[in-house]
Amino acid sequence: MLFSKQIGGKSTLFFGNMQIFSYLCKLNFTKYTKMKRFYTLFILALAWTSAYAQRRYVGGDISMLPKYEQYSSGYKDVNGTKIDDLIEWLISDCGWNTFRVRLFVNPKQQAPDYQTTDYAVCQDLPYVTALGKRIKDAGGYFLLDFHYSDSWVDAGHIQAPAAWKGLSDALMADSLGNYTRQVLQTLKDAGATPDLVQVGNEIMYGLCDMRVHPYAYNGDNWDGYLGLLRAGCNAVREECPDAQIIIHTDRPSNTGYNSFYYNKLMNGGVDFDIIGLSYYPFWHGYLNSEQVASKTDKNNLVNALNNLKTLFPDKRVHVVECAYNFQYWPSEGVNYDTRDAWPCSKQGQYNFVRDLVDNLKPLENVDGIHYWYPEDAGNGDNVNWTTKAGLVEEAWSNRGFWDENATKTGHAINKTGSVTAEMPAAEVCAPYYMRTFYHSQQGIETTPLVRPAAQKRIVEGRLLIERDGRLYSVDGSLQ
Per residue, the 3-state secondary structure of 153-205, as one string, reads CECCECCCCHHHCCCCHHHHHHHHHHHHHHHHHHHHHCCCCCCEEEECCCCCC
Q: Is the pLDDT of residue 250 over 90?
A: yes
The C-alpha torsion from 422 through 423 and 426 to 432, rounded to 10°, is: -170
Q: Is the pLDDT of residue 50 over 50?
A: no
Cα angle 77, 94, 469 (rounded to 5 degrees) comes to: 95
How sure is the predictor about 280, in pLDDT bands with cuts at 50, 70 and 90?
very high
How sure is the predictor about 388, in pLDDT bands with cuts at 50, 70 and 90?
confident
How sure is the predictor about 39, in pLDDT bands with cuts at 50, 70 and 90?
very low
How sure is the predictor about 73, in pLDDT bands with cuts at 50, 70 and 90?
low
- By the 10 Å C-beta count (0-12 exposed, 13-18 middle, 19+ buried), 465 is classed as buried
**Least confident span in 25-39, 285-299, 400-414, 449-463:** 25-39
- pLDDT for 114: 87
Q: What is the pTM of this model?
A: 0.79
Q: Which residue has the higher pLDDT, 451 or 174?
A: 174
For residues 317-342, give the mean pLDDT. 92
- pLDDT for 412: 32
Cα–Cα distance for residue pair 278/461, rounded to 1 Å? 35
pLDDT digits 0-9 by tens, 184-229? 999 999 999 999 999 999 999 999 999 999 999 999 999 999 999 9
Q: Is the pLDDT of residue 2 over 80?
A: no
- pLDDT for 212: 98
- pLDDT for 204: 98
Q: What domains are there in the chain, each with its CATH number? A: 55-405 (3.20.20.80)
- Between helix 222-239 and helix 169-189 the angle, nearest 10°, is 20
> At CB < 8 A and 24+ separation, what contacts does 424-430 make?
426/78, 426/450, 429/27, 429/28, 429/78, 430/27, 430/28, 430/78
Q: Is the pLDDT of residue 319 over 80?
A: yes
The answer to whether the CB of 146 falls within 8 A of the CB of 100 is no
Q: Which of 155, 176, 158 is nearest to 270 (CA)?
A: 176
Q: Is the pLDDT of residue 103 over 50?
A: yes
The answer to whether the CB of 18 falls within 8 A of the CB of 361 is no
Please report, rounded to a whole number, the percentage of residues in the chain having pLDDT higher than 70. Answer: 69
Cα–Cα distance for residue pair 383/17, rounded to 1 Å? 50
Q: Is the pLDDT of residue 469 over 60?
A: no
**Least confident span in 211-225, 365-379, 418-432:** 418-432
- pLDDT for 79: 60
The answer to whether the CB of 466 falls within 8 A of the CB of 457 is yes
How sure is the predictor about 459, in pLDDT bands with cuts at 50, 70 and 90?
low
- pLDDT for 404: 64
pLDDT averaged over every residue in the chain? 76
Pairing of strands 196-199, 141-146: parallel
The phi-psi region of residue 204 (left if phi > 0; otherwise alpha if psi is between -120 and 50; otherwise beta) is: alpha
- Between helix 255-267 and helix 222-239 the angle, nearest 10°, is 70
